[in-house]
Amino acid sequence: MATPLILASSSPYRRALLQQLQLPFQYAAPHINEEARPGEGADALALRLAKRKAEALAVNNPHALIIGSDQVAECRGQILGKPGNRSKAIAQLQTCSGHKVTFHTGLSLLDSESGRQTSTVETFTVYFRTLNSAQIERYVELEKPYDCAGSFKVEGLGITLFEKLDGGDINTLVGLPLIRLVDFLSEFGIDPLNPEIKC
């Protein structure tokens, strides 16, 4: 694979997911404004940010394939950001208890040399059990999910919070929809099972 592959993210969760494809890649944090625009829905926000993240790295990487991804969680019409601390994580989980949370994960692949870019939004929904205060506080104490939208880590103890999951790719929930990414890479001539051969 001659063209460098770059992940436009500083997220350790996304890096770990991308490593599953066993392709060599670099990563860098894009510096963009992540605030929602007035009236912007969760899916539109996720898509815009994924595209902007890829585009932000294109300036300094003119001959690369750049992956942008961003995730926006939504519960009861409210966008859930990363809580950042214990009290906000507890408050988020209290909001989610007994309700569904939909994760909108934007994905974009940009060829910075040609300017070709393909993008989409994948969704994944989790249905929370009705949780009591002791359960919520215990979970937050054990996992400290302060850097996770929705205040949980599905790859850890977070799985105990749910009644069911609904979506096509569990990786979408963690933050990088790998099944769709493999489709995109194939469109751009890269096969993770044979990276030396153009598709």
Enzyme catalytic residues: 70
Residues 6 or more apart whose CB falls under 8 angstroms from that of 31 comprise 56
The answer for 49, left when phi > 0, alpha when psi is -120 to 50, beta otherwise, is: alpha
d(CA 86, CA 109): 35
Residues 6 or more apart whose CB falls under 8 angstroms from that of 193 comprise none
Q: How many CB atoms lie under 10 A from the CB of residue 28?
A: 16
